Amino acid sequence: MATIPTLGAERAAGRVASRAATRELLGRARYDLLVIGGGILGTATAWTAAQAGLKVAMVDAGDFANATSSASSKLVHGGLRYLQTGAVKLVAENHKERRALATDVAPHLVNPLTFFVPVYEGGPHSAPKLGAGVFLYSALSAFRDGLGRVVSPAAAARAVPGLRTEGLRRVAVYGDHQMNDARMAVMTVRAAVEAGAVVLNHAEVTGLRFTRGRVTGAEVRDRLDGAEFGVDARLVLNATGPWVDHLRRMEFPGAEPSIRLSKGAHVVLRRQAPWRAALTIPIDHYRVSFAIPWEDHVLLGTTDEEYTGDPLDVRATDADVDQILSEAGHAVRDEHLRREDITYAFAGLRVLPGGPGGTSSAKRETVVTEGRAGMLSVAGGKWTTYRHIGRVVLEKLKHAPGVGLAEDVSPIPATVPLPGIGAPQAVAHRLLMDREPGSRMDPLVARHLATHYGTLSFQIARLIAERPELGERVHPDGPDVWAQVVYAAEQEWAYTVDDVLRRRTTLTVRGLDTEEVRKRTAELLAR
């Protein structure tokens, strides 16, 4: 592996100065809205509120989307299983948002994917029932993802080489989408900043500020260097996910618990052969598990069990991995589920409304509440509808009593694209063709950049043109290149090795974050 040059001294200094300048800006201005938490809900609200003309600040104790929001099943979907509960309107609304993301907002990040639902002898569902279900599902999306139908086992096995065919009667087919959730988060933060928001990650809220009994800001500590500062705001939004009740107790020590947590674990494996479709695997009458081609690997999961521990300690346990492999084995052959092929296992926490009953039957809904001192707290949400959630929360903010934000909120467009919007195939073609004589980008690298950055790939290509050594792959078994590390540090708020390897690139999920890769990345960030 060649020696990778460090950032230029002026660029490194500029990055540090930029973080210090951001702290100064946060500390001396008064904002309309301070968003605490940079996950799905926080970034969606910050982006929406900034579009509406509000002066917005957002801080996160870790990296953006470093917890639950980058531990999803990577799906942008209507929710086929919701039809079992009769939630036809919900599925239709989900489809509307899914189509908007896939066509107008983020076609460079959201990719179409065919799903198969295998029907086995003695399984929980019959072929006619599933056939009717996928037909209705496709009808609710106006058939824009094809016609939901039932096909033969042989046809499905050609698309999914790992499909178990013993006892397989028929296979239902429908269309949905997938994405890389960490990249979606980074692009949304970038969109919020382009709309005027001021953001800072690795910035922990240590206390709240009060004026005449109302929450009017927060005390913040920079986790990277210990610097402390405060942020003043007319309104504070608590969007801290699993930590939402922790912040509510900062507002009022006697606050009762408002949420409960459900752990969802996933496993990533090296694939034995290319998969051209995903599997939705019925486990019982209500639960399903997924086997999804993702980042040239196969993603399996998820689990759903109540979690009562510290959110910082959540992880995929050996028992989780056993369960995931066992459930995948309902429809995937054993040779495609070898433990030695696991590259990564992760877990996140779903934030569910408090109440009785099991977590698997709890409603997946977004809840906005107002605390005794005027802080708004929001919990629950998913990537498919995150734009809609941002709009719903903005409406709540407009009408928060005693703040008067409504008169300052301007109408926002129905659709605003994320940065880098462009057709991935066209972007990849340009990356391959727009090269200096005698130089050529690897087609796998070009496709990878196009589907993770869109037209922003051209900025990475310019880095490589200026410094050809940055075009070298970080690891020979993956498509990520060193220019992405430089770009993450300079343009995408990446400050730690995990920021880069797990959330700005795909090295960790591919199992390629070796000790040598981590060391070289740390050296590059430090210099």
Q: What is the pLDDT of residues 215-257, one digit of tens each?
A: 999 999 999 999 999 999 999 999 999 999 999 999 999 999 9
Give the range among 13-27, 46-60, 274-288, 427-441 with minimum mean pLDDT.
Answer: 13-27
* DSSP 3-state of 349: strand
pLDDT of residue 344: 98
d(CA 464, CA 4): 12
pTM: 0.94
Based on the fold, state whether residues 144 and 189 are members of the same structural domain. no
What is the widest separation between alpha-carbon atoms in the chain?
A: 70
Residue-range definition of the domain harbouring residue 470:
424-526
pLDDT greater than 70 at residue 276:
yes
The CATH number of whichever domain residue 368 belongs to comes to 3.50.50.60
Residue 3 pLDDT greater than 60, yes or no? no
Q: How confident is the model at residue 360 (pLDDT cuts 50, 70, 90)?
A: low
Q: What is the per-residue pLDDT across 429-452, written as a single tens digit (0 to 9) for each?
A: 999 998 766 678 999 999 999 999
For every residue of 442-487, which 3-state class applies, written as one string?
Answer: CHHHHHHHHHHHHHHHHHHHHHHHHCHHHHCECCCCCCCEHHHHHH
- Give the per-residue pLDDT at 4: 46
Q: Are residues 152 and 271 in the same domain?
A: yes
Q: What integer pLDDT is reported at residue 18 of this predicted model?
A: 85
Same domain, 44 and 111: no
Whether residue 40 is predicted with pLDDT greater than 60 in this model: the reply is yes
Is the pLDDT at 364 greater than 60? The verdict is: no
pLDDT for position 85: 81
Using CA of residue 68, residue 72, residue 76, residue 77, what is the dihedral sign?
Answer: negative
Is the pLDDT confidence value at 214 over 60? Answer: yes
Per the structure, the count of domains in the chain is 3
pLDDT digits (tens, 9 = 90+) for 95-124: 999 999 999 999 999 999 999 999 999 999
Residue-wise pLDDT for 66-92, tens only, equals: 999 999 999 999 999 888 888 898 899
Does 481 lie in the same domain as 443?
A: yes
Averaged pLDDT, 395-423: 94
Please check the confidence at residue 271 and state whether its pLDDT lies above 50: yes
pLDDT at 67: 93
Do residues 243 and 249 touch, judged by C-beta distance below 8 A? no
Q: Across residues 16-42, what is the average pLDDT? A: 92
Please check whether residues 198 and 338 belong to one and the same domain: no
pLDDT of residue 183: 98
The answer to whether residue 78 is domain-embedded is: no
pLDDT tens, residue by residue, 43-67:
999 999 999 999 999 999 999 999 9
Look up residue 456 and give its amino acid: L
Enumerate the β-bridge partners of residue 200: 59
Q: Taking residues 472-476, report their average pLDDT.
A: 97
Evaluate whether residue 39 is within a structural domain.
yes
What is the chain's mean pLDDT, rounded?
93
The confidence score (pLDDT) of residue 438 equals: 62
On whether residue 84 sits in a domain, the answer given is no
Whether residues 370 and 231 fall in one domain: yes
Residue 199 in any domain: the answer is yes
Same domain, yes or no: 172 and 264: yes
Q: What pLDDT is recorded for position 192?
A: 97
- 115 and 137 fall within a common domain: yes
Report whether pLDDT(10) > 70.
no
In a shared domain, residues 471 and 331? no
CA distance 325 to 337: 7
pLDDT for 14 beyond 60: no
| Contact assessment for residue 153 and residue 165, using Cβ atoms and an 8 Å cutoff | yes
- Would 92 be classed as within a structural domain? no
Residue 464 pLDDT exceeds 90? yes
Say what the pLDDT of residue 285 is: 83
- Quick one: pLDDT at residue 45? 97
Domain final residue pick, 303, 320, 355 = 355
Q: Tell me what pLDDT residue 355 has.
A: 52
226 torsion bin: left (phi>0), alpha (psi -120 to 50), beta (else)? left
Asked whether the predicted pLDDT for residue 318 surpasses 60, the reply is yes
The mean pLDDT value for 171-197 works out to 97
Residues 305, 445: one domain?
Answer: no
Any domain includes 164: yes
pLDDT at res. 366: 84
Residue 11 pLDDT greater than 50, yes or no: no
Task: State the pLDDT confidence band at 17, using cuts at 50, 70 and 90.
Answer: low
Residue 331 tokens, joined: 């429809």
- Contacts of residue 360, defined as CB under 8 A and 6 or more positions apart, other chains included, come to 262, 286, 287, 304
Question: Distance (Å, rounded) from C-alpha 364 to C-alpha 350?
Answer: 9
Residue 406 lies in a domain: no
- Do 157 and 220 belong to one domain? no
pLDDT of residue 7: 43
Between CA 214 and CA 49 the distance in angstroms is: 21
Residue 280 falls inside a structural domain: yes
Q: Give percent of the chain with pLDDT exceeding 70.
A: 94
Task: Please give the C-alpha separations between residue 509 and each of 61, 182, 263, in angstroms, as whole numbers.
Answer: 23, 11, 19
Q: Phi and psi for 144 in degrees, rounded to 5?
A: -75, -10
Residues 437 and 515 in one domain: yes
More confident residue, 426 or 367: 426
Asked if residues 343 and 510 have their Cβ atoms less than 8 Å apart, the reply is yes
Query: What mean pLDDT comes out for the span 336-364?
Result: 80
Per-residue pLDDT for 193 more than 50? Answer: yes
